[in-house]
Amino acid sequence: MKYNIIGEPMPVVICDVDPGETLITESGSMSWMSPNMQMQTTTNGGLGKAFGRMFSGESMFQNKYTAAGGPGQIAFASSFPGSIRALEVNGTTGYIMQKGSFLAGTEGVTLSVHMQKKLGAGLFGGEGFIMQKLSGNGIAFVEIDGHAVEYELAQGQSMVVGTGHLAYITDTCTIEIKSTGGAKNAILGGEGFFNTVIHGPGKVVLQSMPVYKLAHAVQPYLVSKS
């Protein structure tokens, strides 16, 4: 497969696939394709994995698109202004990412639910108790809200991340929560009671404009005035 990501800040990934090659995507993610791309809807692993994907913010069912009778082309567009990143999953290192960010991937990629080991990290850390995990072998395309900023943390290094700004990390990193330092700081400072703390070693990718912040910014302009 060859792919090309174009068109930020409303990007689309265009994939040129070989005969017989299959891509997996969430329901409704396909934007356009050549006529020989055949679709099959599947639970992709049974009802257990299907329910796990549902809890992690995706649909229970996935669509498989296969190029039949020759090379094919299929495109997947982002649902939000931002970026599309191609992640190479190599079977040894996986990725933990925000809910709903998976766009599409090759057939060897597995999307599953990831539960935070520490309950507090999920309930108060801002990233949610349930996240998504990418594993297996292949290439996956994920959506990022706004601009992506990448860091590589060494062993012993940490980074404090505001609510919603974590896009994904490698599964060699760990996540915990940290208080912002009292009710006065939380209420008057506008950052909430907790931040997310990422510990290395591993890669951390942050996003500049979480969708909830954009919604909050435009909300005053969406209220009708009588």
The domain segmentation of the chain, as residue ranges, is: 2-222
Residue with tokens 């292949």: 138
d(CA 66, CA 40): 8
pLDDT value, residue 190: 46
The more confidently predicted of residues 193 and 101 is 101
Q: Which of 64, 76, 13, 65 is nearest to 35 (CA)?
A: 65
In which band, very low, low, confident or very high, does the pLDDT at 180 lie, cut at 50, 70 and 90?
low
CB neighbours (10 Å) of residue 128? 18
The arrangement of secondary structure in 2-222, i.e. its CATH architecture, is: 4-Layer Sandwich (3.60)
- The mean predicted confidence, pLDDT, of the chain is 82
Residue 20 has pLDDT above 70, yes or no: yes
d(CA 89, CA 135): 6
Q: Region 61-89: what's the mean pLDDT?
A: 94
Q: Which of 152, 168, 131, 154 is nearest to 201 (CA)?
A: 154
The more confidently predicted of residues 191 and 89 is 89
49-58, 163-172, 182-191: range with highest mean pLDDT: 163-172
Residue with tokens 């890669």: 203
d(CA 195, CA 73): 42
Give the torsion through C-alpha atoms of 11, 17, 21, 23, to 10 deg: 10
In which band, very low, low, confident or very high, does the pLDDT at 71 lie, cut at 50, 70 and 90?
very high
Of 5-9, 45-49, 218-222, where does mean pLDDT reach its minimum?
45-49
